[in-house]
Structure 1
Amino acid sequence: MRKTLYPNHPHENAAIRTAAGSKGRLKQNQSGMTLVEVLVAMFVLAVGVLALLATQLRTVSSVREAESQTVVAQAVQNLMEGMQINPTLSAASGETGWVNKSYDAYNKYIGNSVRTIAGTTTDTGNNPTSFSKSQLADEQIQRFENTLRTALPNAGVRYVICRGADEMEIDSNGNVDAKCTGGPLMVKVLWQVDSEQANAASAVKSNGSNIVYTYQARVPD
């Protein structure tokens, strides 16, 4: 039996209005993101990702620089320790009982001449059961050069052992001033890295497209 709607029936009209109002509200609340909003969200996400990548690249570059500086410092320290166990001793004048210590075995490496490390690893080819002072000095210098060559394969590495506390400098033409002006005996190292692969903020100087780093230490008396 079919149910007849009475237009004047209060309960029937209230139910119809309630159902109609609910459907209207559901349709009104159902809304999605527009294309412009999606594009803006993607742009913000891309900017955040690029900033994160840039930070990561700077972090990696800083870690590499710290590692190279640590290796150079360790190589210099090892060389100086080798020099200390291979000195030339002579009696001091008078009857003081003191002895003079020098590094005559390293005379051909000590001076104003800046040495450039390049090419492949070198080897003396000798394995004697005992070394003379000069042979031990040669072996230590070659180990020092090989360490720097391995640690900084793509850098122009230069070093000098001389007297002078000022840091080495390099001009735009690649000429190096060792600053050997007298004073304490120093081991000085200078190397260059392409500016695109380095964090310029931590470098001491720049030379064209290269970033210049230096390290030096005093040989104990």
Structure 2
Amino acid sequence: MPAAPESRQRGFSLLEVLIAMFVLLVGLLALAGLQARTLIQTRDAELRTLVALQAESLAEAMRANPLRQRDASGGTTLSWEHYVESGYASHDASAPADTCRTAAGCSQQNLAALDLWTFKSGLADGLAAGNAFKAAVCRGSSAPTLADAGCAASGPLSIRVVWSSRLDAKSRRAEAAGGLRSASEAASALVENRYVLVFEP
């Protein structure tokens, strides 16, 4: 009677364990990268929402404080020229002297200055450190940048906000391929985001 074959104990070799650990590590690194991108995109969405809310709030304040003027036919025309700025440096960051908290003596110009300061202070508080921003209310048709508000003597009156944020290389390449950013913008980790609310056509 032939002898029974020896049963060989089978198990994982060291090489198999190392390969399994490598595959697991690659998966974890991909997951970490995805989570980081998701956090950046969520933060960008929060910032865009904050900017939109602040701009809408300023637009409502402007609608409540128009300058009323008589035209040649005796009708009333509305103007918001007391809100119009020539660029980013038109108003400094200090609070206006007249806070309009008392009923007496607050002119429409004082109220406009307070509205603009409240708008820019809200942006500064919400965007926080690391996100440079510029904001202006002016006429113009060109797109604003951090360097230039794009203000002009004519064009629609609009509330313009530009801020910087970090974007990973993969997202920058995707936005450049989709035409959302230029090649020069896609080369830098800091990208400019724009929000323009047209107030008056």
TM-score, shorter chain, exceeding 0.5: yes
1:116 touches 1:159 (CA, 8 Å); kept in 2?
no
Q: Give the corresponding residue for 2:77.
A: 100
SS of the residue 2:165 aligns to: strand
1:89 touches 1:99 (CA, 8 Å); kept in 2?
yes
TM-score with structure 2 length normalisation?
Answer: 0.80
Q: Is 1:178 paired with 2:158?
A: no
| Cα displacement string for residues 105-158 of structure 1 (whole angstroms, at most 9, x for unaligned residues) | 32xxx2432239997x85757463323212211221111011110111222211
Deviation at 1:179, TM superposition (A): 4.7
Sequence identity (%):
26
TM-score with structure 1 length normalisation?
Answer: 0.73
Q: Distance in 2 between matches of 1:42 and 1:118?
A: 57
Q: Give the corresponding residue for 1:211.
A: 191
The verdict on how the C-alpha distance between 1:155 and 1:164 changes in structure 2, with shifts beyond 3 A counting, is same
The verdict on how the C-alpha distance between 1:81 and 1:113 changes in structure 2, with shifts beyond 3 A counting, is same
The verdict on how the C-alpha distance between 1:112 and 1:128 changes in structure 2, with shifts beyond 3 A counting, is closer
AA aligned to 1:165 is S
Give 1 or 2 for the bigger CA radius of gyration.
1
The verdict on how the C-alpha distance between 1:138 and 1:123 changes in structure 2, with shifts beyond 3 A counting, is closer
SS of the residue 2:77 aligns to: strand
Deviation at 1:104, TM superposition (A): 3.6
Correspondence for 1:115 among 60, 64, 89 = 89
The verdict on how the C-alpha distance between 1:118 and 1:132 changes in structure 2, with shifts beyond 3 A counting, is closer
2:165 touches 2:190 (CA, 8 Å); kept in 1?
yes
Correspondence for 1:38 among 2, 14, 17 = 17
Deviation at 1:182, TM superposition (A): 2.0
Q: Distance in 1 between matches of 2:57 and 2:34?
A: 35
Q: Give the corresponding residue for 2:124.
A: 149
Q: Tell me the C-alpha RMSD between the 2 structures.
A: 3.0
Deviation at 1:93, TM superposition (A): 1.3
Q: Give the corresponding residue for 1:166.
A: 142
Q: 1:15-164 to 2 correspondence within 5 Å?
A: 21=4, 24=5, 27-28=7-8, 30-95=9-74, 98-106=75-83, 110-115=84-89, 122=95, 126=99, 128-130=101-103, 131-153=106-128, 154-164=130-140
The verdict on how the C-alpha distance between 1:35 and 1:116 changes in structure 2, with shifts beyond 3 A counting, is farther
